[in-house]
Chains A and B, each alone.
Chain A
Amino acid sequence: MIEVKNLYKNFGKLEVLKGISTRVKKGEVVVLIGPSGSGKSTFLRCLNLLEKPSSGEIIIEGKSLQDPSTDINRIRQDIGMVFQHFNLFPHKTVVENITLAPIKVKGMNPKDALEKAMELLDRVGLADKADSFPASLSGGQKQRVAIARALAMNPKIMLFDEPTSALDPEMIKEVLDVMKDLAADGMTMVVVTHEMRFAREVGDRVMFMDEGIIIEEGTPEEIFERPQNPRTKEFLSKIL
């Protein structure tokens, strides 16, 4: 579903990604872990071209993102993204946040979009907040709305960029629970997170990144119980 070949990314002279190659299968939940500055977020943001790779290739469902004839706006409709800082649209109500893209981008009729939005809000437990503005929501609620907003486009892949890092501890669970449900429903997910319990419970595969490369990858058991690389061991010993 996602294929990454020899991906490099520099910001000026700073090399952030130094040759990443991997595949993500349909329905797989891949969790990226690693220290700050290891390139996890940059890698994730390359997958929907929020960052333009310096070299290498990304193929999403058979379409190369580096092919000039690829319509990136079309591809992005199939890739939902959830951000650390939610990035809800503050001038729109919760339900407008969710219906805007389906109506304007997909040309969905407003009634159907509303119905779908209410269904999604119900799913994330926020149906009563439909007409609120984002500013009146807690962090956990905002992030659940952001997930609903991304799901409203019926994406085939969901990217999560540290979705719980900006949350108060007591709100982390409500967001992770929504993500667990999503994984259980068979969504293909790539998740950058520091939540090791989530990685262990929900991840099909865990990738440990450091200094712009994938140091080690494997099942959660392999990575957390029997890490092979000394850097993986060192990282895990610090955080577990």
Chain B
Amino acid sequence: MVMDFSIVLPYINLFFKGALTAFEITLLAVVIGIVIGTLVGIGKMSGILPVRLICSTYVEVIRGTPLLVQLLIFYFGLPQILGFTLPEFTAAVLALGINSGGYVAEIVRGGILAVDKGQMEAARSLGMSYAQAMRYIILPQAFKKMIPPLGNEFVTLLKDSSLATTIGFPELTRAAQIVAANTYRPFEPYLTAAGFYLVMTVGFSWVMAAIERRLSASD
């Protein structure tokens, strides 16, 4: 049997749309992940025991359970409590974002711990509060160290956004499924989807590498 990619051409818009949606989900999830991750990452180093406990538990639960199960809980499980179903897009973004928060928290914590202890001391000795020292001195430097792992996290999320297929959301993988069903030829559409993912992840890695180069210019 010969491969014939011309069969996906009539559906190519579906792939582009799916790729765009996958990208949107990922981007929003990353933003949520960074916000949650920053708070939880700092919380894990808090001097207040309950805060530390809550944040550690969050990270453990998120990292210790499959993302697919988390997604199913959000989409199929939550309505039982909420009384209404979240739109697929919202459920996917929330599940991925909250999941990402657990991983980003560890990235943030690692980034902060990598900043020299003297930086906090210098900031505090000038009269800055802990929060001010974090905001103006520690986090900007930690963020620089976090760029490479955050880039990896983004790539992982982009690939994991394919799980949204399971709740029937029309993203990239779902597009390939539809085309495969319509044409009775699964190989070409799935290969095409894989190609789209690859182009996006590689392209993104280039962007990250460029950002890293620019940020390291001041060192």
Report A's interface with B, CB cutoff 8 A.
48, 50, 73-74, 76-77, 79-81, 83, 85, 87-91, 100-101, 104-106, 133, 135, 146, 149-150, 153
**Nearest CB of A to B85, in Å:** 45
Q: Is A87 a contact of B124 with CB atoms below 8 Å?
A: no
Given contacts A73-B129, A83-B118, A91-B144, contact A50 B124 (CB under 8 A): yes
**Nearest CB of B to A79, in Å:** 7
Report B's interface with A, CB cutoff 8 A.
116, 118-119, 121-129, 132, 136-137, 140-141, 144, 218-219
Q: Is A76 a contact of B127 with CB atoms below 8 Å?
A: yes
Which residues of A have CB within 8 Å of B116?
87
Q: Is A135 a contact of B118 with CB atoms below 8 Å?
A: no
Which residues of A have CB within 8 Å of B125?
48, 50, 76, 79-81, 150
Closest to A106 in B: B127
Q: Is B127 a contact of A101 with CB atoms below 8 Å?
A: yes
Q: Looking at the complex, which one of A50, A77, A80, A90 makes contact with B121 (CB distance below 8 Å)?
A: A50
Q: Is B127 a contact of A77 with CB atoms below 8 Å?
A: yes
Q: Is B127 a contact of A87 with CB atoms below 8 Å?
A: no
Which residues of A have CB within 8 Å of B127?
73-74, 76-77, 101, 105-106, 153
Q: Is B122 a contact of A104 with CB atoms below 8 Å?
A: no
Which residues of A have CB within 8 Å of B124?
50, 73, 76
Given contacts A104-B136, A105-B132, contact A90 B218 (CB under 8 A): yes
Which residues of A have CB within 8 Å of B136?
100, 104
Which residues of A have CB within 8 Å of B219?
90, 135
